[in-house]
Structure 1
C-alpha cells in the first residue's frame, strides 16, 4: 500500500451537510488525505473546515485554489485560518486555474498566469512569516498588509502545474506540485521537472479520476464527456500537446470546428481508459498504485459516475 491515499471532498451524490459519518470513517478505512477542488461546485475551504473537525487524523489540502479569484490578502487569511484549525495537517495548493473559470465565470482577466502564481507564492511566504508586506510584483501590488493571525504551523504551499515552466516553479519555490489529467506513464515526464532542484522529496499530488465497478461502455461515456470538456481548454490542450498526445488531434480539430458530437467520438478509447480509470474497484486501486510507482507521492481519487458515495469510498479504500 502507498504511504498516502487520498479522496476528493466533498463526495458527489450526497449533500455536504450529510457527509460527516463517511468522512469520520475515512482514517479507519485507510485514507490518509482529503483534498478539495474549486471549480463550479463548493469552494475549496468549507469542506476542509468540516473535515478538520470530523476526522482529526486526516491531512487536508486544496487542489486547487485559483490564484486569480481571491485577493492575495484574503487567500492568506483563509489559508492561515484552516492551518490553525488543523495544525500540521493542512497543505495549500494554488494554481492558475483556466481562462474558463477565471475569466469566463468570474469576470477576471486571465493574463500572465505564470506570473500570477509565482507572485502569489512569494507573497504567501512573506505573509506567513508575519512580515509586513509592501511590494510591487509583476502581476499585483500589496500595500502594508500584515497577517493578523499567523498559522501555528506554516502550511506547505504546492503549485498546480502542467508544463515545464510551472512544474519547475513548483519544485524550485514551492513545496511540490499538484497534477491532474495525466496517465501513470506521463508522471515520468512530469516528475523530473519538479525534482530537479535538489528536492528529491518534493511532493507530487495527483488528482486521479476513477469510475469503479461500472460497465466499460458506461465508464468510457462518462470519461469521454469529461475529457472533452477539459482537454479542449487551452491550458490542458497545450499540456497534452507537450506530452505528444497526437492521437487527440482529430478531436481538437472537430471541437474547434463546432462539431461537439464528432469530437466526443474522436477521442480514442485507449486515451479515455488511461486518463479515467475504471473496472472493478480492485483493478482501479492497482491502476492508481501505478501512479505511485511512477513518482506520485500522494494519489487523490476523484470518483465519477454517481452511485452510492459511501459504497464507492469503501470499495476504493486501500487494501
Structure 2
C-alpha cells in the first residue's frame, strides 16, 4: 500500500468546514491525516473529528510536544484518539522548540533529549495499561494507570533531525518524523534511523507555476524555520552550511528581509515543492523513492481554494 498523507487543518479553513474533504480523502488516494501543534489547533482535536468523518484513514500527530503536557495527560489524549481509531492512530511526539515550550507555554525547555526518551518509555508502559510508578531522569510518575487503555496501543514516532534523535527513535520508538529536507537528503536521514522503522516526512508543497511567488513564500518560511538552532544544525549536517551562511549572517544582524533574500534559488527549490500539480505529485513521490515511508503534504497558500488544492494533489 502506498502511503500518501495530508496535513490538516488547512490554513484559513474553519475546522468544521473540513468535513466534506475528509470524507473524500480515501477515494482521492490519501491514506493518512496528520495534525500539527504550534499556535493553531491542538494536535488531537482535528484527529478526533477525522476519525468520525472518514473511519478508514490512518491518523497521526506530528507532533505533540513532550514538555507542554504532563506525561499522564499526554497518555490520556493519545489513548482517546487510539480508542476512536483502533489500529489507525500513530502518536508522534517531539521536543518542539524553546519558543513554543517556554515562550508560549511557560514551561522550562530542559533536557530535551532526556525528556523525549523518558516520555516514550513512560508512554510504552502507560498505553498498555500498566500502573506506572517510576523515577525517570527528567520526571517522576506515581501510581498512574489509564482507565481506558487502547487496544491496540498506538505506535510511537519521535520527531528527529540529527543523528542523536534519529538513533533514539530507532532504539525507543517505532520510527521518526522529520521535515525541511530534500529527497536527496533522505538517504542520510534513513541511514541513521536504520531499517525496520517508519520514516514520516512533512513536505511543504506550493502548487503554483508562478515560480517567483513560490520562491518568495519559500524564502520567508525557510528564513523563519532554518534560523532556529536545531534546524540550522540539521542543515549544517546535511551539507547546506555554506549555502545558508549569508542567511544566518543577515538574520543575526536583524535584517529579516536580507536573510530571506540571501537564500539561493536552488535551496528553495530543494526544500519547497512547487510547480504544476503533476510536478508536485512527482516531487513528493521522489521522497518515497528515496526512503520515506509516509510523505505528508503540507499545502502552502497560493491564493487558490486550499480544499481544491488538496483534491488536485491526490494520487
Instruction: Name the TM-score, length of structure 2 as normaliser.
Output: 0.98
User: 1:104-150 CA deviation, whole Å, 9 max, x = no partner?
Assistant: 21111111111010000000001012111111111111111111110
Q: Among residues 283, 296, 310, which one is paired with 1:300 in the alignment?
A: 296
Q: Among residues 194, 218, 223, which one is paired with 2:218 in the alignment?
A: 223
Matching residue of 1:290? 286
Alignment of 1:65-214 (within 5 A): 65-195=64-194, 200-214=195-209
**Maintained 8 Å contact 1:135/1:143:** yes
Matching residue of 1:314? 311
Matching residue of 1:49? 48
Q: SS of 1:111's equivalent?
A: coil
Distance 2:255 2:229 in 1: 17
What is the Cα deviation at residue 214 of structure 1? 4.1
User: 1:186-217 CA deviation, whole Å, 9 max, x = no partner?
Assistant: 1111001111xxxx231000000000024101
- Give the paired residue count: 313
Q: SS of 1:187's equivalent?
A: helix
What is the Cα deviation at residue 232 of structure 1? 0.8
Matching residue of 2:265? 269
Matching residue of 2:252? 256
Distance 1:109 1:244 in 2: 31
Q: SS of 2:202's equivalent?
A: strand
User: 1:17-72 CA deviation, whole Å, 9 max, x = no partner?
Assistant: 11100110000000000000001111000000000000011000000000011100
What is the Cα deviation at residue 100 of structure 1? 1.4
Q: SS of 1:107's equivalent?
A: coil
Mind listing any 5+ residue stretches in structure 1 that lack a counterpart? none
Q: SS of 1:19's equivalent?
A: helix
Mind listing any 5+ residue stretches in structure 2 that lack a counterpart? none
Distance 1:223 1:214 in 2: 14
Distance 2:311 2:17 in 1: 17
**Greater shift after overlay, 112-121 or 129-138?**
129-138
Alignment of 1:21-60 (within 5 A): 21-60=20-59
Distance 1:129 1:80 in 2: 10
Q: SS of 1:69's equivalent?
A: coil
- Please provide the CA RMSD for this pair: 1.0
Q: SS of 1:103's equivalent?
A: helix
